[in-house]
Amino acid sequence: MVLKSNPEFLQCVVKQMQKGIPEDPILECHPDGYQHLRDQVESLFALADQKLHTFPFKDVRPCWFRLYTDASIAKALTVMENPFELSELDNIVSILDMALIMAGGLGREQLIHDLLFNLKKALGEHQEDSERPSKRRRLQELTNILPHDTVSLPTIHFPIPQMSNPSLTKFQAFMTDKREPIILTDILTHWAALEKWKNSSYWLDNTIQGRRLVPVEIGRSYTDEDWGQRILSFGEFLHDFILQMPEAGFRSGEPPRTCYLAQHDLLKQIPSLRGDIAVPDYCYLDVPGPEPGTPVCSSRVETETNKARNPKVGSSTGLASFGPEDKDSTDSEVQQNIWFGPAWTISPLHHDPYHNILCQVVGKKYIRLYSPTHSAALLPRRKDEPAPHARTHRTEGSPEFTKEDSQASETIDMSNTSQIDIAAMELSPLEDWDEVYPGINGIPYTECILEAGQALYIPVGWWHYVRSCSVGISVSFWW
């Protein structure tokens, strides 16, 4: 069966590509226009792809991101302009998604979203023509509700207090005066995601029946040697790691090998999901700075000192606005990330330079927090930690990242992550962990099991360890 794209829509896309963008960085590496790009699309795409993989991501010039994006669109259009087989749909979606993931869809983000929506619409029309309603119903029922079994649900000894739907004034005062974590209840009751995101059929419908690509983490923790990253189709992630519950690991007393869709702005990549949630109003309040003497405070002082010594020279070309989004520099915006994974996906003990409201949408998470005033005792890792896992943005399609890809000699600042393995402490509670981590048993902490529909406020700089107790989906809001 063949699929057909709307010809009028495709004509509009081509006109947009021909029109170009004012002061477009692409002119630095490809000044010859859209028709030349179409004629030489394979070689130009290969060139841009090479540049994205040759240099550290932060050093790639904006023109190569633009060329990668436009060449990706041109490759997709060469297939979409004629009726195409269903078997070709995977490749078209992959090309467009890689442009979003690798290059941020630079300069063409909305155009790529429109193309993907057109593909989704064409597939829907094909399915309506080819499937009987009764068959479609049976397929949806087979993969409807996400697994909800819980594992390793701990007893809570030092519970985090709760606050029900506080007013903005009350929460502002709490943040300023208490500077502590708090569970917020009854603030997500209007989120459609609380019901919709429990259904795997809903996820499949919003990912072109699982064809959309997502970046995932493979392995227990980013601090482990065997940890890595891959780009998978959402369908593969869903069927292999979410709908199939791994049991072998639990029988051996060890957590199973996991796959985690972690810290990814999926709402930006798939805008149809945005309407299911809302940014909490609390994220627009003024927040207190980090506590004096804590790592985040010291880091900010160091950053401001360096800025004063080396002020950036402004650009008069207008090109400074082009480049992949730097999440570390968007201080004025609320950063949204999705965390989606099976039981035993963890974030090791670490702290962030932002205030955070972590909203639990599906499933349960165990969270343990330590005050930043105990940072030295929590054994932070080094600023020049060897980085066998430093593989972000180094991918060829969907294979697993390798040490060769990441340049094995690379180091990374891991000082926001503790050497203390809380997951190991959970698995072996009878071991004398004071011998392994001197003084750990005497450091006070607070903890909770965050339930679906609840949110946890984590103040800036607080150390936190997070573990899924079931299939779980969370949304974090950093500001």
Beta-bridge partners for 472: 341
Which tens digit of pLDDT belongs to each residue from 249-269?
444 455 566 899 999 999 999
Rounded to two decimals, what is the model's pTM?
Answer: 0.87
Same domain (yes/no): 236, 108: no
Is residue 310 over pLDDT 80? no
Of the residues 130, 153, 180, the one at which a domain ends: 130
Flag whether 151 is in a domain.
Answer: no
Complete DSSP assignment for 354-395: S-EEEEEEES-EEEEEE-GGGTGGG-B--TTEE-TT--TT--
Flag whether 152 is in a domain.
Answer: no
Domain range holding 266?
162-310+318-478
Q: Would you state the pLDDT for residue 169?
A: 98
Flag whether 401 is in a domain.
Answer: yes
Same domain (yes/no): 175, 114: no
Same domain (yes/no): 166, 68: no
Same domain (yes/no): 372, 228: yes
Q: Would you state the pLDDT for residue 357?
A: 99
Flag whether 422 is in a domain.
Answer: yes
> What gap in Å lies between CA 166 and CA 280, rounded to an integer?
12
What total of structural domains would you count in the chain? 2
CB atoms within 10 A of CB 366: 20
Flag whether 41 is in a domain.
Answer: yes
Flag whether 213 is in a domain.
Answer: yes
Q: How confident is the prediction for the chain on average, in pLDDT?
A: 87
CATH number at residue 278: 2.60.120.650
Flag whether 327 is in a domain.
Answer: yes
- Taking phi over 0 as left and psi of -120 to 50 as alpha, with beta for the rest, 445 belongs to beta
Is residue 226 over pLDDT 90? no
Same domain (yes/no): 49, 112: yes
Beta-bridge partners for 163: 184
Same domain (yes/no): 126, 175: no
Of the residues 106, 130, 154, the one at which a domain ends: 130
Q: Would you state the pLDDT for residue 399?
A: 36
The answer to whether the CB of 374 falls within 8 A of the CB of 443 is yes
> What gap in Å lies between CA 134 and CA 129, rounded to an integer?
13
Same domain (yes/no): 237, 295: yes
Same domain (yes/no): 386, 285: yes
Same domain (yes/no): 77, 177: no
Q: Would you state the pLDDT for residue 312?
A: 52
Flag whether 58 is in a domain.
Answer: yes
Same domain (yes/no): 182, 306: yes
pLDDT higher for 13 or 389?
13
Of the residues 107, 130, 153, the one at which a domain ends: 130
- What number is the average pLDDT over the span 291-302? 90
Same domain (yes/no): 275, 408: yes
- What number is the average pLDDT over the span 322-328? 49
